Amino acid sequence: MKQTTLVLILAACWATQPLAQNYPSKPVRVVIGYAPGGSADAGIRPLAKVLEPLLGQPLIIENKPGNAGGVAMEFMVKAPADGYTLYYFDSGPLTVAPHLAKVGYTLASFTQLGHVCGSGSMLVVHPATPFRSMADVIAASKAEPNKWSYGTSGVGGPHHLSGEYFKSVTGASLLHIPYKGGGPAMTDLMGGQVPMLFSSLGPAVGAVKGGKIRALAVTSLTRSAAFPDVPTMDELGLKGFDSTAWYGLLGPAGLPQEVVSRWTQALAKAAGDKAGMDAINATGCDVNIQSPAATVERIKTDIAKWGRVIKEANIKAD
């Protein structure tokens, strides 16, 4: 009886060995939580191009839009933990959404594979305003409380959080004007209907270069590759100021360690592909490959920070 049991145990071990050694042995599905053509789509495609030869299998991109990435998160909770269904996710559904609504997942519902890239907001103003610097905005808003307003792509989004975090840190008095998307907000800024925006970087490139709007600062800790001449708020005196929406890769809870290691190694090697990383940087999301452990710590830090900002600003979901 003991010998039979030992044989069965050894057989099970041998059966699992090829899985560890040969993963991935078939195409890997990578879900994104938004429709084609957005920033998630723009980032995952150059990344996939670099990763596919490293992994030896194609990455099949599948769009599952809805609820600002929440639909895809709920889907991933129930996905098989075999490494063949993963998610190129943005940080909001993990770090912000739980403070605004009830969600069907927690940090423990997923296995983190690594941080990929991050994108801060950018404070941009209409050229007709008197603002030539971030300090000008702070001083004017304090001198005339609530006279000045700022627009964003919507309530509870990363740019709204950037604006409220900015107000919290500086004491600036600014009214928030939410739009139904970054496009309408940028149109109104260029038309002079709103004096300033906290905006995503990608849509601002053409308008800044064309002189239609003026860029004052970015909210990430480091300057953006897309705007190397625009200073960070940290550089301008708001030490440690970091308001960054970021992307990473995750799988469902319980992914085998061999799968995690395979992806960690592939991402580390991908970071050395300059052409591939430059292609991601060009989308406005600055590459910063980090380990699963560092990614978990980043998530925990952001959960605490955005919880404080949302409570202080009394932000409610639409």
Residue ranges covered by each domain of the chain: 27-119+244-311, 122-242
Phi/psi of residue 32, nearest 5 degrees: -125, 150
Q: 210: how many CB neighbours lie within 10 A of its CB?
A: 9
User: 176: burial class by Cβ within 10 Å (0-12, 13-18, 19+)?
Assistant: middle
User: 220: burial class by Cβ within 10 Å (0-12, 13-18, 19+)?
Assistant: buried
pTM of the predicted model as reported, rounded to 2 decimal places: 0.86
pLDDT per residue as tens digits for the range 72-95: 999 999 999 999 999 999 999 999
In the prediction, which pLDDT does 8 show? 38
**Residue carrying structure tokens 């559904």:** 93
Does 150 score more than 50 pLDDT? yes
Q: Helix crossing, 158-170 with 292-313: angle to 10°?
A: 70
Query: Cα(10)–Cα(94) distance, rounded to whole angstroms?
Result: 40
Highest mean pLDDT (candidates 6-15, 182-191, 245-254): 245-254
Q: What is the sign, positive or negative, of the torsion defined by CA atoms of 135, 136, 142, 145? A: negative
Asked if the 122-242 domain carries CATH number 3.40.50.150, the reply is no
> What confidence category does residue 316 fall into, taking pLDDT thresholds of 50, 70 and 90?
confident
Question: What is the topology classification, in CATH, of domain 27-119+244-311?
Answer: D-Maltodextrin-Binding Protein; domain 2 (3.40.190)
**In the chain, at which residue ranges do the beta strands (DSSP E only) sit?**
28-32, 59-63, 85-90, 110-120, 122-125, 149-152, 175-178, 196-199, 214-218, 244-252, 286-290
pLDDT per residue as tens digits for the range 192-210: 999 999 998 877 888 999 9
In contact, 237 and 1? CB cutoff 8 Å: no
Point out which residues pair with 62 in neighbouring strands. 31
Nearest alpha carbon to residue 96 among 312, 314, 299: 299
Same fold, 27-119+244-311 and 122-242: yes
> What confidence category does residue 21 fall into, taking pLDDT thresholds of 50, 70 and 90?
low
